[in-house]
Chains A and B, each alone.
Chain A
Amino acid sequence: MKLSVVKTLASGVAALALVGAAAPALASGGAEHPKEVPFSFEGPLGKFDQAQLQRGYKVYREVCSACHSMNLMSFRNLGQETGPFWDPKFKHNPNDNPYVKAIAAEYEVDDIDSETGEPIKRKATPADRFPSPYPNATAAAAANGGAAPPDLSVMAKARHGGARYIYSILTGYVNPPAGLHVGNNQHYNPYFPGDLTSAWHGDHKHTPKGGFIAMPQPLTAGQVTFDDGTKSTLEQQAKDVSAFIAWASDPKATERKQTGVAVMIFLALFAGLTYASYRRIWRGIAH
């Protein structure tokens, strides 16, 4: 009896393993695998590091947000549980968090005058969304050599490898190998998925991995000064902003994992109880 449970489960697991094994095969062609950089929020019990999220937000704000929107993010999100400026003092209304209010107030957003209906500018509140750097996608493309910078709201979920992929792109810019023709407004990055066959003039059996990305290397060492005194290396900035984007992509990840632990414990106890009932009810029945 036990054996057949194991067999049934094993088949299910085998089926899923096959699916899992097939998934990397779906990843686009010849890019290098993302760098093996560990993050605190990985794994079934991983959590976001709040100091890292604050540093990451600063990198986003001072560098990324010049070109990239985050349309799904509101300032209030920054003060929510597990967010960069979460403070348990304001758990009943995170919008009262003075950091969040102050950050929002640094931005001006479009509105209309409630008396006259005339368009006006006002200071943003925690309820407002992060303003976009460009008025529309066409303007964003026009200002960036034809390629609109993608929205970063769910970027960690929208790329294979998640935060590790983002980190690898940000730290992965290298000089193109000799024999690779790099066009205008293009930059070689071995972690960016693409097909370099047509631009490669070397040995055809060894086309370099990677692709051409329109974004020039965005981060350099010391570009952002961290308020907590952390040394601002390229790797540190890349890691912190990758963590911030991973949090923004899945702000409920911690709640999800914590719920999951409780659910698993409950189901395990329930399974044990049911198995005991099963043994008791079937006792004496040859089968």
Chain B
Amino acid sequence: MSEHESTYVPKTGFERWLDTRLPIIRFAADYATIPTPKNLNYWWTFGGILALCLVIQIVTGIVLVMHYTPNADLAFASVEHIMRDVRHGWMIRYIHSNGASMFFLAVYIHMLRGLYYGSYKAPREMIWILGVVLFLLMMATAFLGYVLPWGQMSFHGAVVITNLIGSIPIVGESITTWLWGGFAVDNPTLNRFFSLHYLLPFVIAGVVVLHLWALHAAGQNNPVGILIPQEQRSRDTVPFHPYYTVKDGFAIILFLMLFAVFVFFNPNALGHADNYIPANPLVTPAHIVPEWYLLPFYAMLRAVPDKFLGVLVMFGSIGLLFVLPWLDTSKVRSMRYRPAMRWFFFIFVLVAFMLGWCGAKAPTDQLIPGIETFQLFDGDLNSYLWLSRLLTLYYFAFFLIIMPWVGLRETPLPVPESISSPVLSGHGSVPTGAVADAEKKG
């Protein structure tokens, strides 16, 4: 809610002096009092949680760098040195490694919230697009960071992912050699990955600023999904502080409790045991699997028999999100009022989970053990390979077919005129006159 009047009044002489030269206190004060829809539910707290995740990762990361050695012969031992000899080093390192998982858990919830409540639709396309950029940067940063301990999974994961780039026709091999800094994943690769792993979080922080700028230019979405008319503003919004600082704060503490359960009581549950074996180029692990948060994309990659096409599908699955605002033809933002689409959405969430499940399995494994079926092209029908293909198909169909088609065909439920009306009168008892003309509401 960008255009809200500044209510900041400098109180001291210094504040008045500063306000005409660098109005930074005014900026912060206006930011804190931004009118925010009063009906935001707990799904909206993940933005604040993500901001905290980024800060935690950067702070713990900077401390880890003070003790880490980016050298292929020393990296593994230096990580263990942090865990054994650095005071509270185990805590810093486990916060950082589990922090990546927590970061992705929060970002997936945040993205699904945006998808469900139509937060990507006009006028919020830029918020969403910058969010997809952030997601890609996060994935790159997480991958680079996972390589740094130089364990077996670090090394062979780096080999698999960089080899994907080699599948690009004509230029692929040159790019791979350039990335590796040689003709195989080795010490130069570790050094440049370390450098980039330190750089990218600050790029993320910069894009977060743009993400927030876009958010405050277009205004926050809300579970009802309507724009708040100017005359309703005093009834339908509350100042961000203290209303949402305290609500976000409460959610953040609950999130930290989940975080702490992993860090203090099960710090290696989300990792892979093989990464505690020092990297050995001559021994390939039985199953090379990425961290859990990349598994759905890994499943899509392996679902395609051709390597380069697989890479295209994998990147396409995220690239698609950039044009999502224009694939959705519905005039109604919130799926709360979209009786058909919300079911396709719930299936989509299930499909995403199942893709993750497939990513953790060997493609040739039997889906239902012990049942013989028939060979369909290159794999048995009763295998994770074919399940992955089916799920990948749904993933793409959801955005490319279901979303445009259902948006045109579906009859949405009546959308309330304002946030206060459903709050005051309860869901469903909205007068018929209040049926949304989404065009008018923007």
Contact = CB atoms under 8 A, between A and B. Distances in A.
Interface of A: 4-5, 7-9, 11-13, 15-16, 18-20, 22-23, 25-26, 28-29, 44, 71-72, 77, 150-151, 153-154, 157-160, 193, 249-252, 255-257, 259-261, 263-264, 267-268, 270-271, 274-275, 277-278, 281-282, 285-287
B269 interface: yes
Contact of A274 (B253, B274, B420): B253
A271 B250 contact: yes
Given A252-B83, A271-B257, A259 B105 contact: no
Nearest to A159: B273
Contacts of B212: none
8 contacts: A5-B42, A22-B357, A23-B360, A260-B265, A264-B261, A267-B260, A286-B424, A287-B39
Given A4-B42, A12-B105, A153 B257 contact: no
A259 B80 contact: no
A9 to B, nearest CB: 7
Contacts of A261: 264
B254 interface: yes
A285 B243 contact: yes
A278 B247 contact: yes
A29 B286 contact: yes
Given A4-B43, A15-B105, A22-B356, 20 more contacts: A8-B42, A11-B109, A16-B258, A19-B292, A20-B269, A23-B360, A150-B277, A157-B273, A252-B90, A257-B264, A259-B91, A260-B261, A260-B264, A263-B260, A270-B253, A281-B246, A285-B38, A286-B420, A286-B423, A287-B38
Given A12-B109, A263-B260, A286-B420, A25 B360 contact: yes
B137 interface: no
Contacts of A8: 42-43, 45, 109, 251
Chain B interface secondary structure, helix, strand, loop or mixed? helix
Contacts of B84: 72, 77, 251-252
Contacts of A77: 84
A287 B260 contact: no
B247 A16 contact: no
Given A26-B289, A275-B250, A285-B238, A256 B90 contact: yes
B276 interface: yes
Nearest to A205: B370
A180 to B, nearest CB: 20
